[in-house]
A and B are shown apart, each in its own frame.
Chain A
Amino acid sequence: MSDSTAIVRTSLGAAPALLPEGPRRRGPAAMAAGAEQPGRWRSALSSIGKLARTTVFKLTLVYLTVFALFAVLLLGYFAWTTQRLITDQIVATVDAEITGLAEQYRQGGIRRLVIAVDNRSRRAGSNIYLLTTFNGQVLSGNIGSLPSGTMANTGWVETAYNRLDEQDTGAHFALARVFQLPGGFRLMVGRDLEERARLNQVIWSAGRWSAAIVVVLGLAGGFFLTRRVLKRVDAMTDTTRTIMTGDLSGRLPVSGTGDELDRLAENLNSMLERIEALMHGLKEVSDNIAHDLRTPLTRLRNRSEEALRSARSEPEYRAALESTIEESDGLIRTFNALLMIARAESGQARANMSDFDAADSVRDIAELYEPLAEDQGLTLRVEAGAEALVHGNRELLSQALANLLDNAIKYTVPPPLAGDDRVLPDILVKAAVEGERVVLSVGDRGPGIPPEDRSRAVERFVRLEESRSAPGSGLGLSLAAAVARLHGGELMLADNGPGLNASLVLPRAVAGAAAGADSSL
């Protein structure tokens, strides 16, 4: 892949270099034709080069070779078998002739045999006969000439010959058997092999043709197949290149056939979607950081400058330094919260999750904040009796709860007449199991959040206009929402009539389920 990319780059890079040189050497027209011709050749060459480097092409070649090899083997076996069959037939025919002639010989001796051979020699056909005396004198038969010494040995022999009745002197071949008869007579009975030779020829020419067809079709098929795949891969490469240059909204083409390339494209597309979402999140975060960290940083800087410029006495310097440290502590806090959110959102915290009772966490956090609520003149009640098992990170969940509770205390104004006549607590912290869900909620009697603002309130740094004056990083709800998502749940904001009811809705862990899942792994 990377090779083909390099090829394209060099060919693209070479084209502009070619053009300016043209006009100086030749006329503009010549330049146009000349520049186009090498360009075309170059692109043809590079596309062949590209083709030769692709895996599909290599595979096609291998398949083609294997296929051709099998075709040749098959054809060879076929030819061999046919030849054997024909030879067997010839042998059978010759043996039948010999049986006939032997019968004649037994009945009438050599004289009868001579007549029989003579008779048979006159018949049309491809059988050949020759009967000679001990000194090689021909007694009868239809063979005109034979290579010398053919009759010397008895048994089967393949030999060239010429028939007596034939005008042409072209070589014929025959398979024959030579016998030695009493008295030095020798008999040769055989059959012409022309039929077999013709068949062989047919087979071999068929083999040549089919081999040629196999190669041509294989190459063409492979080429077109390769081209088809290459085109799609190239399209993908082009798209990825535009995506790499920064346009993350681009998506790879999917043909809809559901083949391997489609699956690859779909996977890459979902990967791109994830990357785009992450990039979007990153941009949002950096925008928000820029916005909300710059404000305190500016304040910090201005205050220091102001102190340098106008502070006269040591107490004044001290005050300035103290406020500087306070401001930077606030910055660190914001920064920590951002990191925590990022960590929860990236799912890193999933590594150390365990089953624990969320009702316990609710009680602990409520206990931690109860004195603070009381200090503010608020009543806080906890309803977390039954065990509410969740699978998660206790620390993060506690922090999310702490944020919700902190918000509730921060935004709830104590009623003017505090006393025991109040039926409802100002803040109610609850842990409840609802079916397969665990709901951890913090309800307050504060101003609440209007329905239209609820989804926005969860976003990072969003502090609704009415709450601008209250201290805080504006990240509390975002962190709670991120923690809820990390645990496979969500943060719900609802009307508490009046006030806000913020609840972490989490999937309930079944006791022993995690252990069972672990052991099955």
Chain B
Amino acid sequence: MSRFARTRSDISPATRPDAARADPPEPERGFADDAGRPKPEDRHAGAGTAASLAGDDLRSSDRAMRLLIIEDDRTAADYLAKAFKEVGHIADLAGDGEDGLAQAESGAYDILIVDRMLPRMDGLTMIGRLREQGIQTPALILSALGQVDDRVKGLRAGGDDYLAKPYAFAELLARVEVLARRSQNGGGGRNEEMVYRVGDLELDRLSHRVTRGGEEVILQPREFRLLEYLMKHAGQVVTRTMLLENVWDYHFDPQTNVIDVHVSRLRSKIDKGFEQALLHTVRGAGYMIRDER
């Protein structure tokens, strides 16, 4: 959560995100190897390299996305647009529901970020209209109403994900990228695969068998689901809240870092004793499973 402020303040003209992306990330800086709580010395690391890494850490998709942000609060919208640009995406703005609908109809966007309460046409109605016209651009609803039933209402109206305000930018970015990837794969993609592979780690969804380098890894049912979700989104940042929602089906804040403990247990089972770590902690955002080579 604290990562975004850093991201923003870190991007100086000298270290443009585009330039930064060209460099390969340095694992020992970008990814913490322990349970995800960065050490103090890590936090205050030198601005230059850490900054470019932070940008790259957060952005996990390979290509730039075109986003449409439909939000009536101009300050918040500008802030979001700027933040998305800093990580290399392109963001357009619309100030109300009708403009948003018109732009979403005409422009080819990878994803829509829709505020729920908008002037002229509320966000849910807008998404409903789009879906009626057969436009399936994934939409993430931002709302001050964060209760479970509000969320259900939003998803039922045609939204693909729901995020309550206030949110951390890292959280929003991770969700947006997962949504965009899902739609790029035509809704199927990785979902259809029976075996997930990251490096020498394999997960067979049918037989529930997990192997690393050919050796079987014994996982508890929940650990299996956790790994399955992470591997489904391999190469993408997955936040703690996303894990809590998708693996445990809880939508509340557990206050304590329970998820971190689960992930570190999983990590000890799949990464321990291997030279190459696959399950990485993305500071301030969440986790990512990927093969660095």
User: Which residues of A does B touch, CB under 8 Å?
Assistant: 314-315, 317-319, 321-322, 325-326, 329, 332-333, 336, 339-340, 343, 349, 351-352, 364, 367-369, 371-372, 375, 395, 398-399, 402-403, 406, 409-410, 472-473, 476
Contacts and interface: CB of A to CB of B under 8 A. Distances in A.
B255 A322 contact: no
20 contacts: A318-B6, A318-B44, A318-B47, A319-B43, A319-B44, A321-B2, A325-B5, A329-B1, A333-B253, A336-B146, A336-B253, A351-B149, A352-B148, A368-B250, A371-B265, A398-B252, A399-B250, A402-B252, A406-B256, A472-B255
Given A314-B47, A322-B2, A351-B149, A406 B255 contact: yes
Contacts of B5: 321-322, 325
B254 interface: yes
B55 to A, nearest CB: 15
B252 A368 contact: no
A-B CB proximity, top 9 nearest: A315-B44, A371-B261, A325-B2, A399-B252, A322-B2, A372-B261, A395-B148, A321-B5, A372-B258
B262 A364 contact: no
A326 B146 contact: no
Given A318-B6, A321-B6, A367-B222, A395 B250 contact: yes
Contacts of A395: 148, 250-252
Given A318-B44, A332-B166, A395-B250, A369 B9 contact: no
A410 B256 CA distance: 9
A483 to B, nearest CB: 11
B266 to A, nearest CB: 10
Nearest to A319: B44
Contacts of B146: 336, 339
Contacts of B265: 371
B147 interface: yes
B254 A318 contact: no
Nearest to A317: B9
B254 A402 contact: yes
A409 B44 CA distance: 31
B248 interface: yes
Interface in B255-277: 255-258, 261-262, 265
Interface of B: 1-2, 5-6, 9, 43-44, 47, 146-149, 152, 166, 222, 248, 250-258, 261-262, 265
Contact of A352 (B2, B149, B248, B252): B149
Nearest to A479: B252
Given A322-B5, A368-B248, A343 B147 contact: yes
Contact of A325 (B1, B47, B147, B262): B1
A27 to B, nearest CB: 68
Contacts of B6: 318, 321-322
Contacts of B257: 372
A383 B278 CA distance: 36
Nearest to A409: B256
Given A322-B5, A336-B146, A406-B255, A375 B43 contact: no
Given A352-B149, A395-B250, A406-B255, A371 B262 contact: yes
Most B-side CB within 10 Å, residue of A318, A339, A395, A410: A318
Given A326-B2, A371-B258, A321 B9 contact: yes
A319 B251 CA distance: 30
A425 to B, nearest CB: 18
Contacts of A371: 258, 261-262, 265
Given A314-B47, A318-B6, A332-B166, A368 B1 contact: no
A332 B255 CA distance: 11
Given A325-B5, A395-B252, 6 more contacts: A317-B9, A325-B2, A333-B253, A336-B253, A349-B149, A402-B250
Nearest to B254: A402
Nearest to B146: A336
Contacts of A351: 149
Nearest to A336: B253
A328 B174 CA distance: 21
A364 B261 contact: no
Contacts of B253: 333, 336
Nearest to B149: A352
A368 B221 CA distance: 12
Contacts of B148: 352, 395
Contacts of B262: 368, 371
Nearest to A398: B250
A398 B250 CA distance: 8
A322 to B, nearest CB: 5
Nearest to B47: A314
A372 B257 CA distance: 8
A349 B252 CA distance: 14
Given A315-B44, A319-B44, A321-B6, A406 B261 contact: no
A340 B6 CA distance: 31
Nearest to B221: A367
Contacts of A410: 256
A375 B265 CA distance: 10
A410 B254 CA distance: 13
